[in-house]
Amino acid sequence: MLNPKELKLFKVLSELNAISGQENQVAAYLLKTYESLGFKTQTDHLGSVFAFKKSKVLNAKKVLILGHMDEVGFMVSHIQANGMIKIVPIGGINNLVLTSQRMHLTTRTGKVFLGAIDTTPPHLLKDVQQGIPTVESVFVDFGFTHKEEALKQGVKPGDMVTYATDFAVLQGGTRILGKAFDNRYSLVMGLSILEALKNKELPYDLYVGASVQEEVGLRGATTSSTMIAPDLAIILDCSPARDSSGDVSEQGQLGGGLLLRYIDASMIARPTLLAWQEQMAKAAKVPFQFYSSPGGTDAGAVHKNLAGIMTLTHCIVARSIHSSQTILDTRDFDASKKTLLMMLKNLNTSLLENLAKADHNG
């Protein structure tokens, strides 16, 4: 279950807009909140942001908790003479979600316009079969009556276009609905961890933060893990659930707990790290599930950066990610948080050295 602070953070952070390369709203919110919790902050030159706390231990090792702050969305490509807006995709867009959506357009100066994706009514389709739209084929209507009106409002190619989705708590209070839980999950988790550990002396330097441009190729993960050069990186992300049909044999059950992600397209988990994660989930007495994915996370870039960084993913699932309406189970958040806190409370120099050694020996 989420506490009231976490619930508010899910609402605020999921309703902020941040396509890859234009994450400034979310970055500013995070930096302000990190500082209000009493942490020092650091940024890389692409825009990734971190809170950190140095240990009193001499030559302390570094632990990084990282999740991406960007979301999939669109950019303005053309403003038509009639005021309609053409868009291009940023990140992996599901074309089935491209009809009748309420959208926001955010200009360079931060002006926000509400609109909708234009959709042909059935009686005008006549004999033409309704095809699946593409991002390039749709028109987005923000109420501009002609091109000059849009230009006068400061609209330019490259401006951000995102789904206009209000956050909601669903009946019973266990599940929440909103956009961009992939990966605002990681930002809420990061802030919860900082809140829990802010007054605790740790035997390692702790870095908690958010990368930019994951959805277009793990770019901020590369620059920020180079900057921090951690001894251990724990990557938080929100992966697709595959349980909607009711098939319990599918991996990725909503409400099934923390993911032990043993392989995806970008990284094979280190057996010792996966075993440690399982041991900690058991110690925390929370549900967990094994998971594989044809996708990837920031771990893909981090684990092969520098001379190789010891990296583990720490993910949960949500239904309908990369769409305008995503559903997440707060019990999964709870399982993830309890396990992560257990891991961070157990970590010290010798455990980090043993975890690093074990795979070389084994």
Active site residues: 214
Nearest residue (CB) to Zn ion, 138 versus 312? 312
Residues whose CB falls within 8 Å of the CB of residue 6, separated by 6 or more in sequence, listed in order: 188, 191, 192, 333
Please give the size of the binding site for Zn ion, defined by CB under 5 A: 3
Check residue 205 for interaction with Zn ion (CB under 5 A).
no
Select from 144-152, 176-184, 286-294, 301-309 the region that touches Zn ion (CB under 5 A).
Answer: 176-184
Whether 321 and 291 have beta carbons less than 8 Å apart is answered as no
Six token digits for residue 251? 């991996």
Check residue 336 for interaction with Zn ion (CB under 5 A).
no
Check residue 23 for interaction with Zn ion (CB under 5 A).
no
Nearest residue (CB) to Zn ion, 16 versus 140? 16
Task: Report in angstroms how near the CB of residue 183 gets to Zn ion at its nearest.
Answer: 4
Whether 299 and 308 have beta carbons less than 8 Å apart is answered as no
Structure-token match 């005008």, residue found: 124
Cα Rg of the chain, angstroms: 21
- CA dihedral over 129, 132, 136, 142, signed as positive or negative: positive
Nearest residue (CB) to Zn ion, 18 versus 117? 18
Other Cβ atoms within 10 Å of 139 Cβ, number:
18
- Label each residue of 221-257 as H, E or C: HHHHHHHHCCCEEEEEEEEECCCCCCCCCCCCCCCCC
Nearest residue (CB) to Zn ion, 6 versus 237? 237
**In the set 6, 15, 159, 182, which binds Zn ion (CB under 5 A)?**
182
Task: Report in angstroms how near the CB of residue 295 gets to Zn ion at its nearest.
Answer: 8
**Residues 228-257 within binding reach of Zn ion (CB under 5 A):** 237
| Alpha helices (runs of H) in the chain, residue ranges in sequence order | 4-15, 24-36, 122-125, 147-152, 181-197, 219-228, 271-283, 299-302, 330-346, 349-361
Nearest residue (CB) to Zn ion, 159 versus 237? 237
Task: Report in angstroms how near the CB of residue 199 gets to Zn ion at its nearest.
Answer: 31
Nearest residue (CB) to Zn ion, 203 versus 240? 240
Task: Report in angstroms how near the CB of residue 298 gets to Zn ion at its nearest.
Answer: 8
Task: Report in angstroms how near the CB of residue 336 gets to Zn ion at its nearest.
Answer: 14
**In the set 17, 48, 183, 213, which binds Zn ion (CB under 5 A)?**
183
Among residues 195, 254, 204, the alpha carbon closest in space to that of 233 is found at 204
CA distances from 161 to 20, 45, 62, 191, 335 (A): 11, 24, 37, 27, 34
Task: Report in angstroms how near the CB of residue 72 gets to Zn ion at its nearest.
Answer: 9
Select from 118-126, 144-152, 182-190, 308-316 the region that touches Zn ion (CB under 5 A).
Answer: 182-190
Chain residues that interact with Zn ion, rule: CB under 5 A: 182-183, 237
